[in-house]
Structure 1
Amino acid sequence: MTTRAITNTTAITMDPARRVIENATILMEADRITAVGPASEISVPIEADRIAGEDMITLPGLIDSHAHAGHGLTRNLGGGDGDAWFQACEDIYTRGSTPGFWQAEARLSGLERLKAGITTCTMLLGGGADHYRTDTTEAGDLHCAATREIGIRTMLAVGLNRRPFPKRYTSLDLARDITLSFEDQMAVCGELAQNHNDLLDSRTGICLIMPVYSPAEATQDPDEICQMCDAAMALREKHGLRFTQDGHREGSIALAESFGILGPWAYLSHSVDLTAEDMEAAKRSGASIVHNPSAIMSVLGRCPAPELREMGVNVALGSDAAAPDRGYDMFRHMAQCLHYHRRHFRDPEVMMPLDVLEMCTIDAAKAIGLEDELGSLEVGKKADIILLDRRKPHLYPPMMPLTTVAQFANAADVDTVIVNGEIRMQNRRTALDEGAILDAAAQELQEAVARCDLTHLLAEQGAAG
């Protein structure tokens, strides 16, 4: 059993007391934290593998509560033309992708998350506009295999396309057209849940996703939508899954409650321009909200994250990465969150550094039902820990660590990443063939856009020549 010790560090624990400990020691045995406290109170075993924490800020591993598989390769397509980008995602994900595409994207996004200090992330298996690659288990299997290779945790959101069905796909070997039904997708989701739902120990979990319906859409065929919701909830209950949705706004949360798809096992992304009924439904049901302050939906509308938190609703932070205009840098998204709401209220104290740190650590762990296992540096919890190199001009002088992390740090400051007690990155070096991951990603994108006749979307808008 490996014993490790982080010594002489500044520890932001995110424990119930929200302790920030200077000159701290953190002990780990195997995959669990066994001690956290001032160095004067903790004896380091002579056999321990020591990690020098001088000039480091140590945090629980960051948790990104909303992102998309596939988007890591399509992130720049269209050069800012949102409609073209959405259509490209549909074309590639449903008719122009191969096993190599999904494998390369999973490795690329996993590497980016690892180097940004994200130890756990919810990844939607597709999306853009409710196009999920659940015609077979292959894309999901490949993503989970890549997660284990990279060494982080992924909660993979698999699920159901928007009605009407059936949907037209092309098989991943590009050999035949597929007519995909709601029942087909349900069966594949169930199989993925059987094979990959062990987030804590195998580092891959499965949650279920289905489209958000607006009140206007619900009037078109409420019986069919109710039947779909009932079937999805039966599958969720059978496998004990979490449930997430992408794109709530303007009455849709209250509607979701009426369909019986809200509960403390649900976490709902974007959630902009909410009605009072939406906010009360979130509180009443115990559902969490995932705020994505850097997303386009947060330009087109506003998530009332401070107001929801004041009501007692759990709010987590998501990157909505990696496309079309953002990445997995959760430090950027923390700072964006602060400025977003301060500007709205014209008040520089509406949200504070501790608030946004909670939203991507302990509150994010609560959203996935694992606040007793992840999200803070506490004895007995999983040893998911990151260290930031503080000895840099933009992080000096060495004071006020909460403010330093939330307002000045960036992904490139992450020096060391530990997941399940295993060192996955140290001195910003991994054991992965990073060059091969990057080269495969570039090759797969070029082949996908050529296959789908989308090479024109690689042109920079406004570029000379």
Structure 2
Amino acid sequence: MNILIKNADIITCNASDDVLQGAFLGIKDGYIDFIDTKEDALKDFKADRIIDAKGKLVMPGLVNAHTHSGMTILRNFANDLALEDWLFGNVLPVEEKLTPEDIYWGTLLGIAEMIKSGTTTFADMYLHMEEVARAVSETGIRANLCRSPLKDSDKSVEDAVRCFEYFKKWDNSFNGRIKVYIEVHSVYLFDEPSLRMSAEVAKEINTGIHIHMQETLKECEDSNKKYGMSPAEICCKTGIFDVPVIAAHCVHLSDGDMGIIRDKGVNVIHNPTSNLKLGSGIAKVDDMLKNGINVALGTDGAASNNNLNMFEEMHLAALIHKGVHMDPTLIGASCALKMATVNGAKALGFGGEIGEISKGMKADLILIDMDKTHLCPVNDPVSAVVYSAQSSDVDTVIIDGNIVMENRELKTIDEEKVKFNVKEIAKRVLR
């Protein structure tokens, strides 16, 4: 379907940081065909749908670069705990009760929440990833999905064959909306042989790895006791960093760790809300950016956030570093926005395809209703998005050239049915 968006104010997130007013944007066969401020651009374009964007702001869809979408089932459960107590004492025992069908419904709820808050792409690692892929395929969202080479998170049993099967079935499927990486949960749930095996699997099928990395001080201390080196050092030693890597958190990095991550081209995912809520600390994002490290944003799961709202992550990312370092120039609005768009696209292996609004890019974009008291007057559109906008301001979402939400109505998900099923699942597993 060819879509024309007219009267559009557009934040492009391109290399020039162009912000256009009153522009025309054409979508053809799932790609951005043109962007222009002159009506002459329309003369050879035949639109099947015309969207009048007057009073709205068009921008790239947000990229949630680290989450566990099925964890919506555990939302608002086991709060105000340290990560180790939260995970081992509360979350893992409940997760043992979750069935594949439970994960399907929990993921649908997560996807519904993400689309309604302007997220068009996400990276997921969790249980029963076949069901996660099923939910992604049905809803039209874009995703980087990861499967563990260990059976049921039991490090004593390898299940690498299923990684190959999962990759073959889902990677680059549904018009390229799905990419598949290998899940390496962490250096504390994997031992050294498992880390080496995971790296070899990723190399053999020519894909990347998604890992939790140096989230807490205890993780770093335990790694030094277990391996005699930091998580970054053992990952480097075992070949984990020899492939593209999505490294979530990276809160506690030494100068040496920072150098390894920089030299190996590791993509770091900053999760400000989750790290604050679990008391894990605040990542040295300003230092990472100065070192040329690609930093993107993620929400983490709804059990440690407790939502999947990327507008909140942008807002926090642009504020906490200013306050901690008493420097209002750190992580400006434009930087935070790029972390949530173009940087996220690069981190998830979609660089050059999404993350900015330019001719030839895939049409993943959102329309924000700017006719709100908390956005008036706009003055600076980028600052308005990062400092003032709310997720509920997202009006329309287009992914791969398809309208998946319009006037806040989801087109590919039965929202009420999903909410009902997840409530019933939560009653069963949390009692």
Q: What's the secondary structure of 1:425's corresponding residue?
A: strand
AA aligned opposite 1:283:
R
Aligned to 2:408: 428
Deviation at 1:413, TM superposition (A): 0.7
Q: Is the 8 A contact 1:154 1:199 kept in 2?
A: no
Moved more, 188-197 or 293-302: 293-302
Q: 2:10 matched to which residue of 1?
A: 11
Cα deviation for residue 92 of structure 1 reads 2.6
Q: Structure 1 residues 402, 263: CA separation in 2 closer, same or farther (over 3 Å shift)?
A: farther
**Aligned runs of 1:60-139 on 2, under 5 Å?**
60-82=60-82, 83-84=85-86, 86-93=88-95, 95-125=96-126, 133=127, 139=128
In the alignment, which residue of structure 1 is the partner of 2:354? 374
Equivalent-residue separation in structure 2 for 1:99 and 1:304 (angstroms): 37
Instruction: Work out the CA distance in 2 between the residues paired with 1:232 and 1:84.
Output: 26
Q: Give the alignment partner of residue 153 of structure 1, picking from 142, 158, 179.
A: 142
1:386 aligns with 2:357: no
Question: Which shifted more, 348-357 or 191-200?
Answer: 191-200
SS of aligned partner of 1:416: strand
Structure 1 residues 284-326: Cα deviation after superposition (integer angstroms, max 9, x where no partner): 1111111111113673222111111111111111111312332
Cα-to-partner distance string for 1:394-429 (whole Å, 9 max, x where unaligned) = 111132000000111111111000011000001001
Which is further off, 114-123 or 203-212?
203-212
SS of residue paired to 1:188: helix
In 2, the alpha carbon distance for the partners of 1:353 and 1:300 equals: 24
Mapped to 1, the partners of 2:139 and 2:46 lie a distance apart of 30
Q: State the one-letter code of the partner of 2:338.
A: E
Is the Cα–Cα contact under 8 Å of residues 60 and 356 in structure 2 kept in the other structure?
A: yes
Q: CA deviation at 1:203?
A: 2.3
C-alpha deviation, 1:3, in angstroms? 1.2
Which amino acid in 2 is paired with 1:438? K
Q: Is the 8 A contact 2:141 2:177 kept in 1?
A: yes
TM-score of the superposed pair, with normalisation by structure 1:
0.84
State whether structure 2 residue 320 is matched by structure 1 residue 340.
Answer: yes
Report the residue type matching 2:324 in the other structure. Answer: H
Confirm or deny: 8 A CA contact 2:69 2:111 kept in the other structure: no
Conservation of the 8 A alpha-carbon contact between 1:159 and 1:209: yes
Match of 1:247 in 2: 213
Kindly provide the CA deviation profile for residues 209-238 of structure 1, in whole angstroms up to 9, marking residues without a partner as x: 214337xx9xxxxxx944322321221122
* Distance in structure 1 (CA, Å) of the matches to 2:86 and 2:321: 30
Please give the residue correspondences for 1:387-406 in structure 2 after superposition, counting only pairs within 5 Å: 387-406=367-386
Match of 1:207, SS? strand
Distance 1:207 1:46, change over 3 A: closer
Q: Structure 1 200/374 Cα, relative in aligned 2: closer, same or farther at 3 Å?
A: farther
Of residues 187, 195, 207 in structure 2, which corresponds to 1:213? 187
Superposition CA RMSD, Å: 2.2
Residues 155 and 191 in structure 2, CA contact (< 8 A), matched pair in contact too: no
Q: Which residue of 1 aligns with 2:395?
A: 415
Deviation digits for residues 159-204 of structure 1 (CA, Å, limit 9, x no counterpart): 156xxxx87x8xxxxxxxxx884322x2222221111111671522
Q: Distance in 1 between matches of 2:314 and 2:173?
A: 25
The corresponding residue for 2:42 is 43
Aligned amino acid, residue 304 of structure 1: K
Task: Work out whether residues 299 and 309 of structure 2, in 8 Å CA contact, stay in contact via their aligned partners in 1.
Answer: yes
TM-score by length of 2: 0.90
Match of 2:246 among 254, 261, 267: 267
Letter in 2 for 1:21: L
Cα displacement (A) at 1:47: 3.7
For 2:135 and 2:72, locate their aligned partners in 1 and report how far apart those are by CA, in whole Å. Answer: 14
Superimposed CA distance per residue, residues 135-168 of structure 1 (whole angstroms, 9 cap, x where no aligned partner): xxxx22221111122210121122156xxxx87x
Displacement of 1:252 in angstroms is: 2.0
Aligned CA distance change for structure 1 residues 263 and 379 (closer, same or farther; 3 Å): farther
> What residue in structure 2 maps to residue 256 of structure 1?
235
SS in structure 2 opposite 1:300? coil
Q: Which residue does 1:296 correspond to in 2?
A: 275
Instruction: Sort the Cα spacing of 1:247 and 1:284 in 2 relative to 1 into closer, same or farther, 3 A.
Output: closer
Contact 1:77 1:85 (8 Å CA) reproduced: no
Q: Find the counterpart in structure 2 of residue 183 from structure 1.
A: 158
How many residues are matched? 413
SS at match of 2:378: coil
Pair 47,74 (structure 1): closer, same or farther in 2 beyond 3 Å? closer
2:169 matched to which residue of 1?
A: 195
Cα displacement string for residues 51-104 of structure 1 (whole angstroms, at most 9, x for unaligned residues): 1111111111111100013311102112434525643321232x3112331111
1:160/1:211 contact within 8 Å kept: no
Taking structure 1 as reference, are residues 36 and 47 closer, same or farther at Cα in structure 2, changes over 3 Å only?
Answer: closer
Does the 8 Å contact 1:388/1:413 carry over to 2?
yes
The CA deviation at 1:264 is: 5.9
In structure 2, the residue matched to 1:173 is none
Kindly indicate whether the alpha-carbon contact (under 8 Å) linking 1:78 and 1:85 is maintained by their aligned counterparts in 2.
Answer: no
> 1:305 is matched by which residue type in structure 2?
V
Counterpart amino acid of residue 16 in structure 1: A
Contact 1:194–1:239 (Cα < 8 Å) also in 2: no
Residues 382 and 117 (structure 1), Cα distance of their counterparts in 2 relative to 1, 3 Å cut: same
Does the CA-based 8 Å contact 2:72-2:302 persist in structure 1? yes
Greater CA deviation, 331-340 or 257-266?
257-266
Paired residue type of 2:90: A
Q: Structure 1, residues 311-367: CA drift from partner, whole Å, max 9, x if none?
A: 111111111131233211111110111111011111111111100111011111111
